[in-house]
Structure 1
């Protein structure tokens, strides 16, 4: 086969530049482990004054424990990545469906409040048109950073796809959810100051909030629809704003983020 000037020689090789397949790595690892046992068992037996079979068993047990820890760590990493959106580092739709149903069941069982935020980038198409898809990707990544930095440890921020994000807020009333939503919106507005154009002009978000009391039947799909309706009202009312479906003025039992909890008085 003739190659033109500047052609990539590896282009015709389907496996050029690829890492060794996992099955080959395991095969070589097994061969190295067998060699380690063959050489190490007599040495260990002589050093500890034990029989060679006992030394072989000790090496085998240690090797299997180490292998199990390594494989377990890799499985944990794979599971985390399977629930993560690679661009924004928040959860993905799979995590959304799993955790929303879990938290809904938990809220029903414990009779605790549950709120949901639906968040939408207002101008993602305009950002892509004006600055290219790289500009839109930076906007999405920034929203992910803000969500991870702003949400509490019990909250579940996810990217549903495209320009749509959501947050599951366990044990959270609408009034408290609105405080968190405003923090998210204002932090995104703050971070866009000084960024390159068009991000400094077009990067805004609208947020809709709903809780269990805003729906007629306690179902996950109705809760999402209710938050979506609030989001639609926010976008149709001018964007870069927050709307709540249902009453959000009940602040009883709500802990404000900027307040300090009163110290409990310990009596003798």
Structure 2
């Protein structure tokens, strides 16, 4: 169970400033460990997603209007927490004309202005594959830009409601072209084969991905896609070794790994 002085401090700050975190919205199993290290993954643009992916614990529905002071609240909270490495993600906002890219830029700039020594990683949606919006976010200069492939190509239509495998690869290619560290993540235990996982690795490397996270899928509720298989830790270690041999700069691979797990190390890629 999550507990401890640092955990309580982070929790109080998140509640006090009415912030959303993927740690809580996504039912992350590492919340105790990460919050006790004084790190948290902020989620902007509200906590209601316009998409309905079968693996995700975030609420789906009609989002509330954008909160105009959110960028400053996130930046101030990071300052109060004295964080040296921050991860920010968001729900998908297919309802907005710019799909949320403007708020992304404002948030990155606000965080950097108020936290000069803080390294910033952003985990972005696919922005419907619109390259100009991805570049707009990249031009705000976060150190690491991540976009998750989530699963192998064959299973993508089953578990992702709107995202497409090849579109996600194009997003990662655009990230790499901007000069940022490109990062992605996949889940295991959805019914994929080892051959498919290795193909996904090759596909990611081909488009310039430098950092890969691999973790075990855990169903957020009984209504979500059931776990097809629990992968043995030795298999995760095998994938980590293979990934490094193939050419990734960093590979985090174990059952409880999530996108932002130990993310402070990935900026060095």
| TM superposition score category, shorter chain reference | under 0.3
Q: Larger Cα Rg: Structure 1 or Structure 2?
A: 1
Between structures 1 and 2, the one with greater strand share: 2
TM-score using structure 2 length:
0.26
TM-score using structure 1 length:
0.26
